[in-house]
């Protein structure tokens, strides 16, 4: 294993010595922040970019992209967070501290005391606290540009439609909704209101996932044959939680965590499935699985011939990983779908010894996935760009999850007509300019 942050080597030099191709070297060494420092944005020029002096540029910093250029607080876009549960309080609110274009300006909650406390902690004006009844009056609040919906899945539709009608852009948590019909209504509502809609597929903004995508597009593993992806956890016994109620969650492990595997095989290949088969099982008598499924396995065939094998469960010990098997090498992230601590490994034959395998552990600097996705949404609003993960990306996952359930229930293989082109449900890659 090689530590790519080893003091005596630059990242570029060490990557070269590990035998990774030059394209990989530039791909990883040039990984920069999702928002380029050089573009002017709404309301005037960006502040000039700070450059390191030679004394401040140790060799380990080579290729890091330099310090990020952030907008001053008064020019960042304001986010209203709807739903102050675990994800909002443990991940999203703290991530604003790492944002460069986004800031929290409003809260929407059914619990006024909690909202007041959070507003105090994050310097949010108490006049910008809403409840679920007066949410629509956010229309009149110029402090709010974007609404981030972090509610149980069945509530995403209502709060997207009301938010778009109030003239705000919408960032919505995954899964997008509980059905394809709801997804379509969300897309239509945002289109009608001429507002942007982005689904919070955080992994698609993570540097590790982006590095693997680049590797595959550059054919650095040869021809990709198989992708294996697993995402599951042993769900708690708290039977009151909304995740175990079909009406609120839409399903069990599949839409909650299995969606990461499905989405990953789509963005890694850039293709859309042509065949899906699946199996599903819930332990009889386990009260957690009265309404929602425990475990699902599914297989996908993509038009290029790539096969995907995925598993998801609310019953197995936490595992969150994928491995891509190519003709010349394999690459994996393990964990892949966690909020942090992602680890990338690439294995290929040694160029010098046919009996030896070069296994390279690639470490990349960690960035907050939530900060990256929120800054991407702000960047899209500022530059009037289509988000990389728009409503159509969420709708496609729901269409495929419906096929996975159907395949599991009927034992049949569900087929789809081939879709030509890559990344057809996605907007421009994060960081690209308009
Ligand atoms: P949570 O249960 O911790 O929070 C849900 C919030 O919604 C709570 O504040 C709750 O009070 C509020 N709420 C309002 N009406 C409710 C109702 N009728 N029933 C239950 N809660 C109600 O859930 P969470 O884990 O924060 O998940 C919220 C959303 O975020 C879900 O869509 C989930 O899939 C998504 N999520 C995404 C990630 C990710 O990594 N992107 C991780 C966790 C959750």
pLDDT digits (tens, 9 = 90+) for 209-254: 999 999 999 999 999 999 999 999 999 999 999 999 999 999 999 9
Evaluate: CB of 177 within 6 angstroms of ligand 1: no
Check if the beta carbon of residue 315 is closer than 8 Å to that of residue 234. Answer: yes
What is the distance in A from the centroid of ligand 1 to the CA of 157? 14
Q: Of all helices (H) and strands (E), which one includes residue 161? A: helix 156-165
Integer CA distances (angstroms), 358 to 63, 127, 344, 404, in order: 24, 59, 14, 37
Residue 431: band (very low, low, confident or very high) from pLDDT cuts 50, 70, 90:
confident
Q: Mean pLDDT across the stretch 147-169?
A: 99
Say how far apart CA 204 and CA 426 lie, in whole Å.
10
- The answer to whether the CB of 89 is under 6 A from ligand 1 is no
Distance CA 305, CA 167 (A): 44
- Among the listed ranges 25-29, 40-44, 365-369, which one has the minimum average pLDDT value? 25-29
Q: Is there a cis peptide before residue 335, judged by omega within 30 degrees of 0? A: yes
- Rounded percentage of the chain residues whose pLDDT exceeds 70: 84
pTM metric for this prediction: 0.89
Please, which pLDDT band fits residue 356 given cuts at 50, 70 and 90? very high
Token pair 């607080």 is found at 73
Residue 429's beta-bridge partner residues?
none
Measure 85 CA to ligand 1 centroid, in angstroms: 5
How large is the average pLDDT for residues 91-107?
A: 98
Residue-wise pLDDT tens digits, 306-349: 999 999 999 999 999 999 999 999 999 999 999 999 999 999 99
The residue ranking higher by pLDDT, 25 or 155, is: 155
Q: Are 31 and 12 in contact (CB under 8 A)?
A: no
| Cβ(84) – ligand 1 distance below 6 Å | yes
Helix axes 180-192, 391-410, angle to 10 degrees: 170
Residue 69's pLDDT is what?
Answer: 79
CB of 249 sitting under 6 A from ligand 1: no
Looking at residue 399, its pLDDT comes to 98
- Mode of pairing for the β-strands spanning 319-326 and 307-313: unpaired
Structure tokens at 231: 């995402």
Active site residue 165: no
Would you state the pLDDT for residue 79?
Answer: 99
Nearest ligand 1 atom to alpha carbon 87? 26
For residues 95-101, average pLDDT: 97
**Lowest-confidence region among 2-16, 175-189, 352-366:** 2-16
Residue 10 pLDDT more than 50? no
Mutate to test the pocket of ligand 1, among 84, 85, 251, 258 (most ligand atoms within 8 A of CB): 85
Pairing between β-strand 197-199 and β-strand 169-172 as defined by DSSP bridges? parallel
Average pLDDT, the chain: 88
Helix then strand count (H, E) for the chain reads 13, 15
Pocket test for ligand 1, best of 88, 129, 150, 249 (most atoms within 8 A of CB): 150
Instruction: Give residues with Cβ within 8 angstroms of 124, minimum separation 6.
Output: 104, 105, 106, 107, 118
Percent of the chain's residues with pLDDT above 90:
83
**Taking residues 113-121, what's their average pLDDT?**
98
**Å from CA of 167 to ligand 1 middle:** 23
DSSP H or E stretch at residue 229: strand 224-232
- Distance between CA atoms of residues 128 and 106, nearest Å: 5
Best residue for ligand 1 mutational test, from 151, 156, 256 (most atoms within 8 Å of Cβ): 151
Residue tagged 């790539």 (tokens):
306
Q: Cβ(426) to ligand 1 under 6 A?
A: no
Question: CA quadruple 260, 23, 100, 343: dihedral positive or negative?
Answer: positive
**Can you list the pairs that 337-344 forms with residues at least 24 positions away whose Cβ atoms lie under 8 Å?**
337/203, 337/231, 337/257, 337/260, 337/261, 337/264, 339/91, 339/202, 339/369, 339/370, 340/366, 340/368, 340/369, 341/366, 342/206, 342/208, 342/366, 344/208, 344/211, 344/212
Check if 174 is active-site.
Answer: yes
| 10 CB burial (10 A radius; 0-12, 13-18, 19+) | middle
User: What was the pLDDT predicted at 432?
Assistant: 78
pLDDT tens for each residue of 29-66: 222 222 232 333 344 445 566 665 655 444 443 344 55
Nearest CA to ligand 1 atom 6: 85
The answer to whether the beta carbons of residues 225 and 329 sit under 8 Å apart is no
Confidence of residue 67 (pLDDT cuts 50, 70, 90): low
Return the pLDDT at 32. 26
Cα–ligand 1 centroid distance for 95 (angstroms):
17
* Each residue's pLDDT tens digit, 259-291: 999 999 999 999 999 999 999 999 999 999 999
Residue 180 in 3-state DSSP? helix
Are 105 and 78 in contact by the 8 Å Cβ rule? The answer is yes
pLDDT for the residue numbered 49? 65
């Amino acid at each position: 294993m090689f530590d790519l942050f080893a003091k005596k080597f630059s990242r570029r030099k060490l990557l070269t010595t590990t035998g990774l191709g030059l394209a990989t070297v530039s791909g990883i060494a040039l990984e920069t922040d999702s928002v380029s420092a050089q573009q002017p944005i709404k309301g005037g020029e960006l502040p000039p970019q700070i450059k390191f002096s030679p004394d401040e540029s140790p060799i380990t910093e080579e290729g890091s992209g330099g310090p990020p250029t952030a907008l001053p607080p008064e020019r960042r876009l304001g986010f209203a967070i709807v739903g102050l549960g675990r994800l909002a309080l443990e991940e999203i609110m703290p991530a604003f501290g790492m944002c460069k274009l986004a800031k929290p300006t409003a809260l929407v909650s059914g619990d006024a005391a909690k909202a007041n406390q959070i507003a105090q902690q994050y310097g949010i004006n108490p006049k910008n606290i809403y409840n679920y009844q007066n949410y629509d009056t956010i229309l009149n609040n110029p402090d709010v540009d974007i609404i981030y919906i972090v509610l149980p899945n069945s509530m995403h539709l209502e709060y997207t439609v009301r938010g778009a009608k109030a003239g705000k852009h919408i960032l919505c948590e995954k899964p997008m909704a509980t059905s394809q019909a709801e997804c379509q209504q969300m897309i239509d509502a945002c289109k009608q209101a001429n507002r942007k809609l982005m689904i919070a597929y955080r992994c698609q903004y993570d540097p590790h996932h982006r590095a693997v995508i680049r590797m595959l597009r550059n054919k650095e593993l040869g021809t990709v044959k198989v992708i294996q992806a697993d995402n599951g956890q042993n769900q708690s016994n708290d039977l009151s939680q909304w995740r175990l109620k079909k009406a609120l969650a839409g399903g069990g492990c599949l839409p909650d965590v299995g969606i990461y595997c499905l989405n990953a095989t789509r963005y890694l290949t850039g293709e859309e499935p042509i065949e899906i088969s699946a199996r599903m099982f819930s332990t009889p008598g386990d009260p957690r699985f009265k309404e929602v499924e425990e475990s699902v396995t599914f297989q996908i065939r993509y038009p290029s011939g790539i096969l995907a094998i995925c598993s998801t469960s609310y019953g197995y010990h936490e595992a969150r990983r994928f491995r891509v098997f190519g003709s010349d090498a394999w690459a994996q992230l393990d964990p892949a779908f966690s909020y942090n601590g992602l680890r990338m490994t690439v294995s290929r034959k040694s160029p010098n010894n046919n009996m030896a395998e070069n296994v390279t552990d690639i470490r990349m600097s960690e960035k907050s996935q939530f900060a990256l996705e929120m800054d991407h949404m702000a960047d899209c609003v500022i530059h009037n760009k289509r988000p990389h993960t728009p409503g159509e990306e969420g709708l496609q996952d729901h269409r495929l999850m419906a096929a996975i359930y159907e395949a599991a229930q009927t034992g049949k293989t569900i087929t789809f007509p081939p879709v030509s082109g890559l990344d057809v449900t996605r907007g421009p890659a994060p960081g690209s300019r308009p």
